A = this chain, B = another copy of it.
Amino acid sequence: MPVASYAIAGHGVRNFISSSSSSIHRHNFPFTVRSILKITPLYSPFNRNYAAAAVSSSSSTRDITNSIENAGNFTWNDVFEVSQSENGSSDLGGFFQKINLCNRGSEKRFDFIPFVIEDQIVGYVHNGFVDHLSKFKDVFTIMKDNAHETQSGHVTLQSALKTPESRTEALGNVVKCLGEEVFPGIRNELYPVTSSYGGRVYFSLERAAAPYFGIKAYGIHMNGYVEKDGKKYLWIGKRSETKATYAGMLDHLVAGGLPHGMSCAENVVKECEEEAGIPRPISSRAIPVSVVSYMDIDGYRFKRDVLFCYDLKLPESFIPHNQDGEVGSFKLLPVTLVGDVIRNTEFFKANCNLVIIDFLFRHGFIKPEDDGYLKLLQSLRSGDCS
């Protein structure tokens, strides 16, 4: 590991510590706080897309999502140039906007019918998507009822599929058969299918297919932070430009879906090693601190995600190193700047915004005196948090 000497500056000229796979360099940020306050407060390269979103159909929503998911066409310099409020702004509008980004399409909730296993609702399937499934008569039973001009009924599995293993295999074949065209981004990573966290696992399903079945997905997100002279800094990653999803966008130091059979604590240690090269003696100090949840409908996809949030206070001397090629580079940014980046841009992968807003609450950067405090706090758990 290369060694770098550096300092975290207070006000005035700031030095940002950065780390990439090839080198560690020192970025001398050439603006004082006062000078950057003059920069346009709302830096949003996606405004054009958002105007379009207001009149979106199902297909245009997909286009917008893709553009957002691959919209990391900005540099760290663009991040540094985001207006930074010296004592934090009290306008929470930009935060509410990011909550909404993760909770789209609630008005389309009734276009979905329940996916039921053994009398438990484990997911939701779009009425249009049911047509894909109806071809697999040995796997699915579809009970549709349009008699009263309402979309009702439910999807279940054929009664012959009694064991988790047989269901996992049958659904695995469906995913293979429909392939990348229907389920883009297949990862060969299985998610457990349950009705609630810690509950019985009915079978396992390919991660990329989970949103099409409205399966609840659980993950861990970790805020890695440093405290220096009473000021807090967050390590932020910029996703690799070659990632299939959200390429080039800002991300947590460490985050990952919760695979079948692994505890949150084990997953944090594993992802710390893979994503940031954090050794177990340090990563085992990460503490579970909160939970955020959201419910996002986008075309046929119904995401019902619950993220377990962790905080890890890192030593000042620690420099992260990505091991799995998924992160391009890391930088250590003042929490106040990170808050302003969330407020004023869409640089972060959408669900990271929620976890960092939760961090801002727990560390006192958002205050009861800010208009909308209670509403914003509650909106961090807009999804089914079970």
Contacts and interface: CB of A to CB of B under 8 A. Distances in A.
A6 interface: no
A184 B263 CA distance: 51
A298 B30 CA distance: 62
Chain copies in the assembly? 2
Nearest to A291: B377
A197 interface: yes
Interface in A339-386: 361-364, 366-369, 371, 373-375, 377-378, 381, 385-386
A374 B194 CA distance: 14
A107 to B, nearest CB: 22
A369 B263 contact: yes
A140 to B, nearest CB: 29
A385 B377 CA distance: 9
Contact of A291 (B196, B265, B363, B374): B374
A230 B369 CA distance: 32
B291 A367 contact: no
B371 A288 contact: no
A375 B177 CA distance: 38
B308 A263 contact: no
Nearest to A375: B386
A361 B290 contact: yes
B288 A367 contact: yes
A170 interface: no
A198 interface: yes
A306 B263 CA distance: 33
A264 interface: yes
A378 B368 contact: no
B368 A288 contact: yes
Contacts of A288: 361, 364, 366-368
Interface string A253-284: 00000000001110000000000000000000
A344 B369 CA distance: 36
A181 to B, nearest CB: 35
A264 B364 CA distance: 13
A5 to B, nearest CB: 27
A287 interface: yes
A385 B381 contact: no
12 contacts: A196-B374, A197-B373, A198-B371, A198-B373, A265-B368, A287-B363, A287-B364, A288-B361, A288-B366, A289-B364, A378-B385, A378-B386
Interface of A: 196-198, 263-265, 287-291, 306, 308, 361-364, 366-369, 371, 373-375, 377-378, 381, 385-386
